[in-house]
Amino acid sequence: MISLLAKQVTLALVWGAANALPSSNASPILDTRSVQPAYVSVAVTTLWTDPSKPRAIDEPALTNPVQMDKWLSMNVSDYSDLTTNSRTQTQALFGARVDIIGHENGWYEVALPGQATPKNALGYPGWVPAAQVSFDQEYGRLLSEKPFAKVEKAATVPLYRDHSLKSKLMEVTYDTRLPVLRETKSAIEVATPGGGSAYLSTHDASVYKSASDIPYPTSLDLINTAKLFLGLPYLWGGMSGYAVDCSGFTHTLYHSHGIDIARDADAQADFTGHGTPVAQADLQPADLMFYASNLSDASTIYHVAMYIGNGEMVEAYDSGTPVRITPARFTDEYWGAERFLKHRKI
Ligand SMILES: *[C@@H]1O[C@H](CO)[C@@H](O)[C@H](O)[C@H]1NC(C)=O
Ligand SMILES: *[C@@H]1O[C@H](CO)[C@@H](O)[C@H](O)[C@H]1NC(C)=O
């Protein structure tokens, strides 16, 4: 995913030109008066570049409930067209907070506070169908006050209607986080946006008091998480257990283990300033490897993969290529690597 000037110009109209064009290093002064919190009410909502971008075949992605399997059965040329026409931006998972910053006929413009980007200091911007968010403020209160259950076991897991885990309400994806109401040995009762309570199996999710309680991962933890995504489709803007793009994949690997990195590949390398550059000879598992069309210009970084050791990496490469483990590429577009994991000395 590459920064688009067009997006910044749209935001300039929303926020006023003086404070809406963030540079890589400076945050704009924010006018948050008109920002209203809402919560994703489908398994995954896709943020579109603008409401004109979805095609007829994207209808299953716009409904509530969302029909991901139907949507993702599109052919490779329809997948590629999402990239070449810059239709999709990113995704947000069930129960996540989105901040409404604009609206138009059946659509909300939102920013995702959990996905850092130089495009907007409020969070990653894009448009979502109004039918896929809820303004349930009681849910919002629970989300900010209660411990949360985090889906960890698989790319997708069931969310149940009943504590005996017999009747499936819907599917939720890896790293979905929902406020916890009650826990038993086998079931976690969670709140849902606009929908009352539901249940996760204790085999599928863990409970944390806050994001800072998530155990600091080892490189093996990150690699094991990556393996849950093997074989999933590449989707431009994808960032869920249904499909991912290159940086949505690496963002999720780190985010699910409590480490925040930027959303897009160029920003992961350049923007957050949290990574430490790593020479090729010093690569360690879990280091992120970046590829650029011009090695002297970090804004041309177009791809990120995660090194997993033994000369191999894991990546979401491009449309038509499922998430894969492949020999680490050191081509003339290899820009370098960054380390986000602080390796503890033993
Ligand atoms: C892909 O599907 C679209 C319909 O969504 C169709 O028009 C197109 O011909 C198909 N392309 C290929 C290469 O099969
Ligand atoms: C690569 O980036 C550098 C630094 O921005 C620039 O001076 C150079 O002209 C670029 N090279 C090409 C081939 O665009």
57 lines ligand 1 (CB under 6 A): yes
Give all domains of the chain, ordered by start, each with its CATH number: 36-135 (2.30.30.40), 139-213 (2.30.30.40), 219-339 (3.90.1720.10)
Q: What is the mean pLDDT of residues 170-176?
A: 98
pLDDT band at 106 (very low <50, low <70, confident <90, very high): very high
pLDDT band at 233 (very low <50, low <70, confident <90, very high): very high
Q: Please, what is the Cα angle at 21 between 17 and 24, to 5 degrees?
A: 165
Would you say residue 13 has pLDDT above 60? no
Select from 266, 270, 296 the residue to mutate for testing ligand 2; criterion: most ligand atoms less than 8 Å from CB: 296
81 and 28 Cβ atoms separated by less than 8 Å: no
**Range 48-64 average pLDDT:** 98
pLDDT at 17: 29
Q: How is residue 271 written in tokens?
A: 């923007």
114 pLDDT tier (thresholds 50, 70, 90): confident
Q: Give the pLDDT confidence score for residue 271 in this predicted structure.
A: 60
Position 333: which residue type?
E
Ligand 1 atom 11 nearest Cα:
77
Which H or E run contains 71? helix 68-71
Neighbours of 216 (CB within 10 A): 12
Q: What is the pLDDT of residue 1?
A: 46
Residue 322: its pLDDT value, please? Answer: 98
Structure tokens at 99: 């901040």
Q: How far is the CA of 72 from the centre of ligand 1 (A)?
A: 13
Q: What percent of the chain has pLDDT over 70?
A: 88
Residue nearest to atom 10 of ligand 2 (CA): 294
pLDDT value at 30 more than 50: no
Handedness of CA 293, 298, 300, 301 (dihedral sign): positive
Q: What residues form DSSP beta bridges with 307?
A: 313
Q: What pLDDT band is residue 33 in, cutting at 50, 70 and 90?
A: low
Q: How confident is the model at residue 272 (pLDDT cuts 50, 70, 90)?
A: low
User: Residue 12 above 50 pLDDT?
Assistant: no
Average pLDDT over residues 190-216: 96
As a whole number, mean pLDDT of residues 245-270 equals 94
Q: Assign 330 to helix, strand or coil.
A: coil
Q: What are the tens digits of pLDDT across the range 279-315? A: 999 999 999 999 999 999 999 999 999 999 999 999 9
Say which range, 87-96, 239-248, 257-266, has the weakest mean pLDDT.
257-266
Give per-residue pLDDT as tens, 314-337: 999 999 999 999 999 999 999 999
Query: Does ligand 1 lie within 6 Å of residue 77's CB atom?
Result: yes
C-alpha dist (Å) from residue 204 to 65, 216, 240: 21, 19, 16
Three-class SS state of 297: coil
Residue 195: pLDDT over 90: no
Query: What is the pLDDT, as a whole number, of residue 14?
Result: 33
Beta bridge partners of 44: 93
> 78 with 57: CB under 8 angstroms?
yes
The more confident residue out of 119 and 145 is 145
**Quick one: CA dihedral 292, 298, 299, 302, positive or negative?**
positive
CA 244, chain centre distance (Å): 8
d(CA 293, ligand 2 centre) in Å: 10
Q: Is the pLDDT of residue 2 over 70?
A: no
75 lines ligand 1 (CB under 6 A): yes
Residue 101 has pLDDT above 90, yes or no: yes
Q: What is the pLDDT of residue 118?
A: 87
